[in-house]
Structure 1
Amino acid sequence: MEIKFEYTRKRSEFGRPCRFSDHLAEVTVDIPPDPSLADDFIPQDPVDVAVQEAPVMALHEVNTERAQVAIRGMNHVEGGWPKDIDYKNEELTTRYREEVEREEVYTMSIQHLSSLVEHCIRQNNAIDIYEEYFVEEEEEDDEEEHPSAKTITVIRDPNVTRRMATHLSWHPDANRAVAVAFCSLDFQDSRKDMSFDSYIWDLEKPYIPELVLKPSSPVVTLEYNSKDWHHVLGGCYNGQIVYWDTRKGGLPMEMTPVELSHRDPVYGACWLPSRTGTECFSASTDGLVLWWDIRKMSQPSERLVLDISRQDQLKDALGASSLDFASSMPTKFLVGTEQGIIISCNRDAKTPPEKIANIFRGHIGAVYSVTRNPFFPKVFLSVGDWTARIWTEELMDSAPIMETKYHTPYLLDGCWSPVKPAVFFTAKSDGTLDIWDFLFHQKDPSLSLKVSNDPVVSLRPQDNGRIIGCGTKLGVVSLLEISPGLCTLRKNEKNLTSTMFEREARREKVLLDKHRERLLREQERAQAQAEEREDPQEVFKQARADFFSTIKAERQRRGQ
């Protein structure tokens, strides 16, 4: 039998409580002073002691070994065809498609897939999943953003002996790589260990070249083929034209013979939009423009002498220092010369002298760059001496419709923005990159950025206009990312730019007409003065007779 008893009580009700009371102060110990101990006291000078509470730490640096990274790729070609069908032959593939489309299995597959696709289309028609709701607010935010640019990647010439980065070319496939031509353009540069190599870099791994191009002479210009991405065209310092197939290494596939090539460095080489994608043409300071086909590079297919007198004389030809070709105008191209003259040529003309269509004079020195506007092909930009100038082909043999101010440093290159019609870039000899937007500012650049202490000699923007490559005289290529406001097309910007160009063209035409009228009046006045010119003897006799008649009249008046 269990007996249990519970007793409950508050804690404050049991135990001895603490009781406090007031007490007067009392001395517990009292030690009187001992004068005899004063003899043992030694006085000391004041001593400062610093105490640091933080723990003592040491700094050590360690360089780890660099990882060796290899780039490997695989070539994918069009597949799925039977062995007896050559997929490059359009006639065979078309015939095979027609046979497949007549089969019953193909019809059943299409009917099954069409129901699925129809369901997705109905969903998209019901709800637009790609609709943008706040476009206007985003545009307002972009307008308030100040123009800026930042360096994202720097590519350097791997060789110890530095050379100029004379030309840049972006890979047509989403700009994933960039080809850089390295060459020393200094006359009779005889530095030892001068390399002839140029390079292609993958932007994801810019510390080591993806491919080394090994020409027989330094390359001045490089261009990717937009139709066949694996073909790269190069113009050499000795005047030869070479091309590479990047799938087969860095050695040239073929090159032009020296005796039939240019006699001077090739400053411009462009691919032509032909059916085969194998035609190209080049220009050099020897005064020639040559057309080539990479399937047969033993001799040029066509030849043009840059003789503006239209006599087709090589001794009177002007040296080409820049070349531009736009696919929107497949028969026309522009040539900038060392004499400051821009030549507009038409390949479809019947005779070589007729191919020189128009001549534009305006620069004092060599024209280092001439490029057409991607939105208005008849409008083009030229860079030379200390200015950049905008011309239009609608005004024949006239002055530029717009131009920048005269700079103190020399201008060495220029190009249009591929996404904004009124924006263009200029490079100066003091290492500065200027970004101009003529729609908003025409006296000063919208952004001026110091890229390097060395002259910037080459420029090339990507297709999206967001990243621009700048090559310097010492072979350093800086990739700059510009702010969205300078690479985003706004509402009505294209129409406003077109109106601006048309207004300036009309103004220039009015000034040109007034100038011609003034010259005509001066000529007529000079002819009239020549006709009215009298014999000096007759003038003297007439003056003598007038003098004596005046004296005689005065005497008669006085009554003498």
Structure 2
Amino acid sequence: MEIVHVYTKLRSEFGRQCRFSDRPAELLLDVPPDPNLAQQFIQRTHRDQAVQACRDMSEHQVNTERFESESCGINHVEGGWPKDINPDEMEQTIRFRKKVEKDESYGNSLLQLGGVMDYCIRQNNSLDIYEDGFEDEDEVDDSPEPPSAKTINVFRDPNEGRRTVTGLSWHPDGGRKLAAAYSCLEFQRSCGDVSLDSYIWDVENPNRPEATLKPASPLVCLDYNPKDSHTLVGGSYSGQIAYWDTRRGSQPVEVSSVEQSHRDPVYKIIWLQSKTGTDAFSASTDGQVLWWDVRKLSEPTERLVLDPGREGNLDRALGAISLEFEATMPTKFLVGTETGLVLSCNRKAKTPAEKVVCTYDGHLGPVYALQRNPFFPKNFLTVGDWTARIWSEDIKESSIMWTRYQMSYLTDACWSPVRPSVFFTVKMDGVLDVWDVLFKQSDATLSLKVCDAALYSLRIQDNGRLVACGSQQGDATLLEICGGLSTLQKNEKSLMAAMFERETKREKILEARQREIRLKERSRSEQSREEETGREEGEDDPQQLIASAESDFHSLVEAELKKREKDVSEEKDAAESSP
């Protein structure tokens, strides 16, 4: 039996019927441009890119397919045995060895291989296979081009609220990424709706960040792990330490507790050179330097109070703004304080008095930047007030070199990783200065206006070519330095070593002279004090006062008599000589 069902629907329920007609175009709406809307858009940086019309590779019958290789391996316990021999059985292996050693081909093979190996060993001893035949080619002559730098990209804070770029850190593998910490350090500024996120940028993509870091408190500083490029550690405004693994997302893996952390913002955090690669230490304005193991941030592993009296008193501790650690000096580190002092500390010391080795006083304000020269670790660079100074560990009284006082406050500085005589500074007026002390010491070799806002942070890539500057308005500007300032010059290391040694000797001579002057002044003051004391004691005795008055009177009388006798003799001589 066949069942038929008929479904009916009105034509009007399908929608209006389309009726097409051939007619001329007509204007339905005309929206004129609004010039006020142009202020809401940001013009994208122009980029020039070459385009080739033809294909990169032509198709031809002789083109071969791409060879696909595959890596594989086996676990080798003890090989070379036949299938019927069990390597675990000692008797079978000894029996097989004796059988092989009795074979004539075994001796012939040893003699043949011995000659080949003897030839290779003698050749290795006669030739230096590790010799660098192009050693002199790395150092090129000074480039004739003038010093220059150009802006490549600008990484802007995606949030509406303006936050300062307080910290920057380059990715350790080639510098393809740049991590930036955003925070508001203005005192008592309302930060209710301001975002807490910090970002990791790809240097080729300034439109959006590659990854986001979501701390519980705004990050003031952060640092990539030089041994593991996926991990970062950061110091927050609340004083806590946070640890990230970018493979696990945006949330921190570990966060230190508030009770065991700093009491003020963490202005600097650095990874330490350790076997595990998980040790770091931080500095804050609460007057403490704390050591951490990022695998367990519940409490610090070690604590140092920056008391200049070397008593470990936290009430008299100096707030730390900058921090410096050199891997070649694992026990030493430098701390820049709010009062302009630089403290040289020893981590392995047992008592608080021995942990602070010495101090360097040379700035009128906080030491915002502190870094050792990568080629000469005994010399370090500091930035504070309106100057940048170069110090030597052998001179405690004063710096060996310094810049002139600038018109604007200096906020950060760093050495070039490829040229020992070049360092970079940024200022509150938005200017980046490049100094080459071998070329010019009184003025900067290159001054570049990066932006209108104040610059607060500065980091340079390991190859010395790219420089990142963070501003108060939340912009991280990436600049490329010319080849003359980012390529090692001929004899630069020896010339810089001679300059540091000469300036150190000069400061030592000046220190010795100043010490002698102070000793002479001290002896004079003590002598004058003794004379005044003796005079005061003499004035107390009336007999001595009478005796001193009589001696003064007799001396005046004798002087007057001698003067009269002399006048009389002169008059007689004049009378006798006259006609």
Please say whether Structure 1 and Structure 2 have the same fold, judged by a TM-score greater than 0.5: yes
Look up the match of 1:545: 554
Query: Among residues 76, 79, 82, which one is paired with 1:103 in the alignment?
Result: 79
Does structure 1 retain, via aligned residues, the 8 Å contact 2:285–2:321? yes
1:394-416, Cα deviation, whole Å (9 max, x unpaired):
12x21000000000111011000
| 348 and 191 in structure 1: CA distance in 2 versus 1, 3 angstrom threshold | closer
Unaligned 5+ residue runs, structure 2?
1-32, 34-40, 45-70, 82-112, 540-544, 570-579
Look up the match of 1:285: 285
Look up the match of 1:305: 305
Look up the match of 2:186: 186
1:277-356 equivalence runs, <5 A:
277-356=277-356
Look up the match of 2:374: 374
Q: For the residues of structure 1 that align with 2:133 and 2:420, how far apart are their CA atoms?
A: 27
How far the C-alpha of 1:209 sits from its partner, in A, is 1.1
1:29-72, Cα deviation, whole Å (9 max, x unpaired):
xxxxxxxxxxxxxxxxxxxxxxxxxxxxxxx9xx9xx9xxxxxx
1:376-396, Cα deviation, whole Å (9 max, x unpaired):
11100000100000001112x
How far the C-alpha of 1:204 sits from its partner, in A, is 2.8
Residue 453 of structure 1 aligns to a residue whose secondary structure is coil
1:19-30 equivalence runs, <5 A:
none
Look up the match of 1:266: 266
After TM superposition, the score normalised by the length of structure 1 is 0.75
Q: For the residues of structure 2 that align with 1:462 and 1:290, how far apart are their CA atoms?
A: 27
1:523-553, Cα deviation, whole Å (9 max, x unpaired):
1222233344543536544322211333455
Residue 498 of structure 2 aligns to a residue whose secondary structure is helix
1:64-103 equivalence runs, <5 A:
100=77, 102-103=78-79
Amino acid at match of 1:334: L
1:185-215, Cα deviation, whole Å (9 max, x unpaired):
0012214420000001122323211111000
Does structure 1 retain, via aligned residues, the 8 Å contact 2:322–2:369? yes
Q: For the residues of structure 2 that align with 1:539 and 1:462, how far apart are their CA atoms?
A: 81
Look up the match of 2:419: 420
Q: For the residues of structure 2 that align with 1:353 and 1:211, how far apart are their CA atoms?
A: 44
Q: For the residues of structure 2 that align with 1:485 and 1:416, how far apart are their CA atoms?
A: 15
Q: State the percentage of identical aligned residues.
A: 52
Q: For the residues of structure 1 that align with 2:563 and 2:218, how far apart are their CA atoms?
A: 95
| 174 and 554 in structure 1: CA distance in 2 versus 1, 3 angstrom threshold | closer
Q: For the residues of structure 2 that align with 1:173 and 1:555, how far apart are their CA atoms?
A: 100
Q: For the residues of structure 1 that align with 2:275 and 2:422, how far apart are their CA atoms?
A: 33
Residue 473 of structure 2 aligns to a residue whose secondary structure is coil
How far the C-alpha of 1:352 sits from its partner, in A, is 2.2
Look up the match of 1:444: 443
Q: For the residues of structure 2 that align with 1:321 and 1:218, how far apart are their CA atoms?
A: 17
Q: For the residues of structure 2 that align with 1:490 and 1:175, how far apart are their CA atoms?
A: 23
Does structure 1 retain, via aligned residues, the 8 Å contact 2:140–2:488? no
| 327 and 552 in structure 1: CA distance in 2 versus 1, 3 angstrom threshold | same
Structure 1 position 152 matched with structure 2 position 128:
no
1:216-227 equivalence runs, <5 A:
216-227=216-227
How far the C-alpha of 1:555 sits from its partner, in A, is 6.9
Look up the match of 1:212: 212
Q: For the residues of structure 1 that align with 2:336 and 2:564, how far apart are their CA atoms?
A: 79
Does structure 1 retain, via aligned residues, the 8 Å contact 2:201–2:209? yes
Residue 175 of structure 2 aligns to a residue whose secondary structure is coil
Amino acid at match of 2:207: Y
Does structure 1 retain, via aligned residues, the 8 Å contact 2:140–2:490? no
Q: For the residues of structure 2 that align with 1:291 and 1:134, how far apart are their CA atoms?
A: 43
Q: For the residues of structure 2 that align with 1:439 and 1:431, how far apart are their CA atoms?
A: 25
How far the C-alpha of 1:80 sits from its partner, in A, is 6.8
How far the C-alpha of 1:290 sits from its partner, in A, is 0.6
Q: For the residues of structure 1 that align with 2:325 and 2:157, how far apart are their CA atoms?
A: 28
After TM superposition, the score normalised by the length of structure 2 is 0.73
Q: For the residues of structure 2 that align with 1:554 and 1:432, how far apart are their CA atoms?
A: 77
1:77-131, Cα deviation, whole Å (9 max, x unpaired):
xx9788xxxxxxxxxxxxx7xx55x5339xxxxx9xx99xx9xx99xx9xx9x97
| 334 and 555 in structure 1: CA distance in 2 versus 1, 3 angstrom threshold | closer
| 133 and 340 in structure 1: CA distance in 2 versus 1, 3 angstrom threshold | closer
1:240-279 equivalence runs, <5 A:
240-279=240-279
Unaligned 5+ residue runs, structure 1?
1-59, 67-78, 83-95, 106-110
Structure 1 position 387 matched with structure 2 position 387:
yes
Amino acid at match of 2:465: R
Decide which moves more: 526-535 or 439-448: 526-535
Look up the match of 1:460: 459
| 388 and 545 in structure 1: CA distance in 2 versus 1, 3 angstrom threshold | same
1:454-533 equivalence runs, <5 A:
454-533=453-532
Number of residue pairs matched?
450
| 545 and 486 in structure 1: CA distance in 2 versus 1, 3 angstrom threshold | same
Look up the match of 1:108: none
Look up the match of 2:169: 169
Residue 259 of structure 2 aligns to a residue whose secondary structure is helix
How far the C-alpha of 1:160 sits from its partner, in A, is 0.5
Look up the match of 2:52: none
Q: For the residues of structure 2 that align with 1:431 and 1:144, how far apart are their CA atoms?
A: 28
Amino acid at match of 2:274: S
Q: For the residues of structure 2 that align with 1:539 and 1:213, how far apart are their CA atoms?
A: 88
CA RMSD of the aligned region, Å? 2.9
